[in-house]
Amino acid sequence: MPSIIQLLPDAIANQIAAGEVVQRPSSALKELLENAVDAGATHIKVIIKEAGKSLIQVIDNGSGMNETDARMSLERHATSKIRTAEDLFALTTMGFRGEAIASIAAVSQFELKTRMEDQELGTSLEVAASEITNQQPVSCAKGTCITVKNLFYNIPARRNFLKSNGVETRHLVDEFQRIALANSSIEFEFYQNDLETYNLPAGKLSQRIVGLFGQNYKEQLATCNEETDSITIKGYIGKPEFAKKSRGEQFFFVNNRFIKSPYLHHAILHAYQGLLQQDTHPFYVLFIEMDPARIDVNVHPTKTEIKFDDERTVYGVLLAAIRQALGTHNLGSAIDFDSNVNFAQLQPMNIGQSGTSSKDTAYTQFRNIEKDPNLKNWENLYTEEIKQSKLNFTAPSESFTVESALNDSDNKEIGNSGLKFQLHNQYIFSQIKSGVLLIDQEAAHERILFEKYQAFLQGSKGQTQQLLFPINVELNPADHALVLEMKEELASLGFAFEEFGQSSIVINGAPLTVVAGQEKTVFEGLIDQFKINKSSLTISTKENLSRSLAKRSCIKAGQVLQQEEINAMIDELFGCEVPSFAPDGRSTYFVLDLNRIKDFF
């Protein structure tokens, strides 16, 4: 019986290995950039075309390779850094120079030019699907130039699974930003489709952050430094008021290697507790330095996840470092040192229980509190509050005072009037036949706008209000690519804009539903919300845009509405296909029927 187990040819083995190492164009860029950094380069140039699908080129002025090393770098399991198994736990550099190159060359048309400083001529290698098609001496600059063309050309199934150019470009920019942040002493250039996206001179980390993310980051950076016997933490954190709802501008580096760690991110959020708005994330770029023997970088193929030998210690030191940074820069909540903090613990008030006077209950709870100047008005406050049981409803233009249930005639008058008004500038209060209708104004308006935007994107196209003064919006390259990718859909919603410079746009018009003066805020919020939804929901681009714009342009709790606006909102809400729920599932209204009201009494 013939044998059925055979050794795979090298070309197929390399393609299988590439499946782990090279998942998309950004994976190839990451490996090539790390190799360039490890080669000691002081200048690295990146050229991208068609989101890396047709071209990825990385040029560095590093140490280069001789002819033998250039050939060896294309072999599987070739490396310049590991000699024994113990070396795996003492790595302080990034790229492996050989393993990644062999994998990339297996799934692309690959060209390598390299020369060492002490050599007159360099070496040129051309490879297609792991087969060397040409090798010759060549005159070239010191360092290495690697060109990757037509990635996955020989694996059509893998190429078909690549996302749109906008999505792949965002991944490329993400990888570039991580390498550039970790190596601020190296000069970087980044070109997309022959246009310069970044030109980052060597300098301080703060200058690199501003160069990558924009000039407005100058005012939000706060330094963070903490050093112990075993761990050093340094870098920058963002001021709480600049926190964003979308994630993506949070960077951890351990021994200069970018990592993802929800556990350490939790330490950051814990340190910011009480300073951030709900569901927002602060900016940070933090470098953790520690003994390589105390971490394991080989628990994940992309090495973005690592293991610490003592996670709790790292968590504690990081938490203390962030709190100290917030305190040093006066970013924490203010403390009133004149107030008396030695109050007795307060118990909930049970007003109206049988056998207990409301006034006596309130008074007793404060009776034994030490009398001091800070507390002299407590008794009067509670006496006034419970003097009579009244409900006060404030509408934008008038105030209604409904006496307690003793005065039936007043209740009948207001009940028969059919008046609609705001309750605490958050809910709409309206009488209906069966009782009372309570509407959450924010959720209701979000539902109304969502269905409008859905209709616009399905062909009816929203109206555009031309702006008297065009608005310039600075975007990072990833967001800029995302906006251009969705230009047609954004135009259907009512946005009119054009490109301006490398990563800016100029808004000339906005949807009629957007409040005047809020066009820039809403547009930037739309992009942030779109990214949040994309990371957590599986929905189409059009639905995502409708949800995002509705959430960021709807009226918010606390906004005063005029009587006409209240009436219009009720009419529009019950004209929706699904009036009961906001797009995210929140209830838009609640009916309190008369029988239930009677039960209260």
The DSSP annotation for 109-134 comes to EEEEEEE-TT-SSEEEEEEETTEEEE
Residue 211: inside a domain, yes or no? yes
Residue 344: inside a domain, yes or no? no
Rounded Cα gap, residues 220 and 239, in angstroms: 5
Whether residue 158 contacts residue 103, with contact meaning beta carbons closer than 8 Å, is answered with no
Residues 573 and 541 in one domain: yes
pLDDT of residue 49: 94
Residues 193 and 209 in one domain: no
Rounded Cα gap, residues 432 and 193, in angstroms: 62
Residues 468 and 566 in one domain: yes
Residues 51 and 160 in one domain: yes
**Computed over its alpha carbons, how large is the radius of gyration of the chain?**
32
pLDDT of residue 339: 36
The torsion defined by the Cα of 229, 233, 239 and 243, in degrees rounded to 10, comes to -130
The owner of tokens 């994107």 is: 457
Residues 397 and 478 in one domain: yes
pLDDT of residue 157: 85
Residue 334: inside a domain, yes or no? no
pLDDT of residue 439: 94
Residue 75: inside a domain, yes or no? yes
Last residue of a domain, one of 147, 177, 200: 200
Query: Which range marks the domain in which residue 264 is found?
Result: 205-328
Q: Which residues of 523-538 are buried (b: 16+ CB within 10 A; e: fewer)?
A: bbbbbbbbbbbbeeee
Residue 298: inside a domain, yes or no? yes
Residue 4: inside a domain, yes or no? no
E-state strands within 246-329: 250-254, 257-259, 284-289, 295-296, 307-308
Residue 346: inside a domain, yes or no? no
pLDDT of residue 368: 41
pLDDT of residue 337: 34
What are 223's two structure tokens? 């330094």
Residues 220 and 313 in one domain: yes
Whether residue 285 contacts residue 209, with contact meaning beta carbons closer than 8 Å, is answered with yes
Q: How many domains does the chain have?
A: 4
Length of the chain: 601
Rounded Cα gap, residues 573 and 580, in angstroms: 9
Mean pLDDT over each residue of the chain, to the nearest integer: 80
Residues 218 and 190 in one domain: no
Tell me the DSSP string of 239-266. Answer: -GGG-BSS---EEEEETTEEE--HHHHH
The predicted-structure confidence for 262-272, as pLDDT tens digits, reads as follows: 899 999 999 99
Rounded Cα gap, residues 220 and 240, in angstroms: 9
Residues 396 and 358 in one domain: no
Residues 360 and 418 in one domain: no
Last residue of a domain, one of 200, 227, 253: 200
3-state SS class at 520: helix
Mean pLDDT per segment of 10 residues, for the chain of length 601 residues?
68 58 89 93 96 95 92 72 53 55 90 94 91 92 95 88 85 94 96 89 94 87 91 94 84 92 91 85 94 78 78 92 87 42 36 39 39 43 38 37 35 48 90 90 95 89 88 85 89 91 87 90 91 82 92 91 91 92 91 88 89
Whether residue 143 contacts residue 64, with contact meaning beta carbons closer than 8 Å, is answered with yes
We report the CATH number of the domain holding residue 108 as 3.30.565.10
Whether residue 30 contacts residue 179, with contact meaning beta carbons closer than 8 Å, is answered with yes
We report the CATH number of the domain holding residue 248 as 3.30.230.10
Alpha helices by DSSP H, 329-407: 358-367, 378-385
Residues 418 and 527 in one domain: yes
Residues 532 and 579 in one domain: yes
Q: Which residues contact 547 (CB under 8 A, 6 or more apart)?
A: 450, 529, 533, 539, 583, 584
Residue 509: inside a domain, yes or no? yes
Residues 67 and 157 in one domain: yes
Last residue of a domain, one of 339, 371, 387: 387
We report the CATH number of the domain holding residue 505 as 3.30.1370.100
Closest C-alpha to 64, from 152, 124, 126, 147: 124
Q: Report pTM.
A: 0.66
